[in-house]
Structure formats: C-alpha cells, structure tokens
Structure 1
C-alpha cells in the first residue's frame, strides 16, 4: 500500500502589535459594508495605494468570495493596477502579501499570510486569501473584531522582494592543469639565510610560492626543516574570502621512492600566513637520505583540489 504524500499548508497565522505598513482600511459600520457591497459583486475595493514602486488595491469581501470557495468567511485580496504592469520593464511583479484584521479585545492585529511569493502579471492581477476568518466569529462582538458599535479595521502589507544582489558561487576544481610544481634548492648544506622562497607558480587560477626554512621556522627548533605553501604576494585572500587547498608537499628521495610527504587539507583565510609543517623533516634524516650527489634538495607540491569563489558585489 503506497503512503499518501502529506499536504503542507503554506498559510501562517499569528498575532502582531505593529499595524500594517502598506495600507489600512477602517470601516465605521461593518453591517452597512456588508449590505452595500451587494451592488458591487459583494466586494469593496480600496483606492489605489503605492508599495514597492507599484500601485495596488485592497479588496475585502465581507460575505466571502463565493466564486473562490470563500462563502461563510471574510475574504481578502490584493489587485495590482494594470498600468503598473505596463510601465514595468519585466511586465510581472513578485510580492509577499500579509493581511491584517484588527482585534480590539486583544489590542493586536490578527495576521494571515500565504508565505509563497505571488506573481502578478497581465494574466493574474489578483491574489489573496478566500478564508481569512469565519464570518460568524468575525461578526460576534464578543470576539473583538467588531467594536464600538460596528467598527472594524482591515489592512495589508505588500512586500516587494528586492532583486538578489548579494551572492557567491563556490566551486572545487579537481581537474587542474599542471598541478605539480618542483623546486630544486641547490647547495643546501651551504644555505645561510633563515628563509628561502621559490619562484611564483600558478595552479587553479591562483599564484603560489613555497617557503623553506633550512633550520626551522622557529629558531628554537633548529633541528628540523620547515616547509610551507603560501599564496603569492598580491594574491592573498580578500576580506572574508576562503580558498580551499588539497595538496601534497614532498621532499623527494633522490635514491628511490621513500619521499617524505604530507597532505594538506586546509582553508586559506584572511592574512596570507601560509600553511605547512614546522617539523617537516629532521635535518639528520635529510642529510642522510634526501640530498643528491650535488648537495641539492628537491621539494615538490602537487595540488589535487583548489576552490574558487565568485562574488556579487565584487569585494
């Protein structure tokens, strides 16, 4: 037996103290509104009001919109002015609609909203809710929706979502061209400086350098070789930018395949401090097995993945 899919309602009802910000309709006598709308298709249309750069009308059916299965309820709708559509370049408008009914007893507004954004165009100029409140409940003075004799108040917020302007697209490139960079550090035993930097190389549309510390990055840790991968100067991450790198750093064994290797899986964030290992290889091991006949040390970086991010607006 197949399981029937659950129907999820998109209508949200709640109380709110703040009044509507787009339009408010106050009625001195609900009974008279109900009586006199019989001559206007059982509805009352407000004057035009502006919201989001377009003109609208609030429509209230005191007895419900029977053609939309609203009989026995208060029905509320919003209609866009057709002139607004003809003047809009896109010829369609998306809007969020929140309908309000004031309750004097609670001193709050009952709000009801279909959270799905509505598309207004030449074929569909009106959207709303056919069953805002049951008529009998609304028309009962003890409930608080009609007050001070027979007054009542309706309202609506028409919210036009702004076009999306802030976004980012994150991608992970695992099909890199020329993913491997080799660096030969000559006359290693004669190196005097604390830090050495490779030439700049490009992988994953980024520029990189390797940095090598022959007697350790930390001067107190002078029995180790330190190796780091850095983004090249001028290619540091921008504000709040993240760059993911998966790469293998190796010191090559010139006599076989016993390379000293570590895999890097890291995000480069903010200041270009680089990533690597303080204790990449002990100098004792290095001297025994990792210098070739010409006293050269061969270091290699092989990239597997480099991320890229496109932003709007460009930062």
Structure 2
C-alpha cells in the first residue's frame, strides 16, 4: 500500500493517503447531493460483505450523525452484521481502515469530491479475504412520475381471489396493480387488499433494488373524490417484487 501522508487527529485516529483501493468492499454514491437529502436523518446502510470470516456493513450519514450531534461532517462507520446470533461472551479484535476516494487526485481519504462519493473498507481479523464485492446507490435527477387509473367493473360480483391491471410503464420498468376484492392475509374477509407489483420481476437485475415512492387511491364515486388513500416508500427487488396493504379499506365501505 503506497502511503503518501500519515497523521493522527485529536481523537487518536490515524489518517493516511493511499493510492491503493480498499481490499474488501466499496460503496459508490452517485448524485451524492440528492442522496444526502433522502438519508439526512437515519443514514444509509450498505449490503453486507464478508471479511475475516464475519459479515459487515458500511453505514454513512451524509450530513453527519445527528444522534451524536455531528454537524458539517460526513459520518462513516463499520458495523458488524448478525451479532444477535453470537454468544454473549463473544468478542473479536480487528484492525480496520475506512476509505473515501478523492476523485480529483485518484487517492483516498481526502474530501475534495464531486457529486459522486466512493467509500470503502478493509477489515482484518485473522486472515485476509479479497472478494472484490461492492454496490452502487444512485438516484434519478428527474424522478419518473406516473399516474395510472384502473377501472374495475362489476366489483360486487368478482369471484376470484386476486386480479391484476394491465401493465403500465414508470421509471423504465413495467408495473401492475393487484387487487384482492375479498382481502388477503390479515385483511381476508374484512378488507379490500391492494398491491403494486413489478410486471416482470426478472427485469430487475440480480442483486439490485429499486426504491419506489407510491400512493394508492380509491375513488368515492358518489362524491367524485378520493375516498381512501395510502402511500409508502419501499424497496423492490427480484425476490420481493411487490408491496401493498392487506387492510387498505374495510369491505363495508
């Protein structure tokens, strides 16, 4: 590792500049300023990666960790995943490094970056594992907005357990509204259940997730206004291509 500069800050943390990329994991944040708005409160947690026989995650707070009263800084943490399954007497001693890429100079740990940030980590327990895993978090500058209307005829005579609308496009993906007229899950027999599902889940690349903001409405046909609505922000991926509400509205309404 080519260290160009070495210094220790007031907290005792050793800082250095290196040309070598992180060995075990990297996290690229595209359109950083937009992502910072989304994760300003709780921070962003990466997918897990393995190093030294244990599983880890990177957590960053783009505007500082507010729970620790951090301001005007980026907070960056290494977190062990799955500690609840370990014995209460368990402990492990590790040597780890956290990285931030300076894209102007091509080395790490300098805070002169554009609207993309690349974080990384190296974790050494007993041995080194070079898996080369990573992930990328990105957001559209101009979010795709779609309003789709599905008119269901003769609702009271519907006999099947579930119905789906014709597919409609939004955000380069195809979607369907899924209706359970007599309820599903916890709402079966008492509520109408409503879901948004990816029309072709396989179009979501393996290992990828989509973050979607959505809102359902049911029209009050007597007063010609939305009788009931419910919104959410949810992740969609190939193994979990849908989200909705088992108890959207009571059947008596």
When normalised by structure 2's length, the TM-score is: 0.45
Higher Rg of the two aligned structures? 1
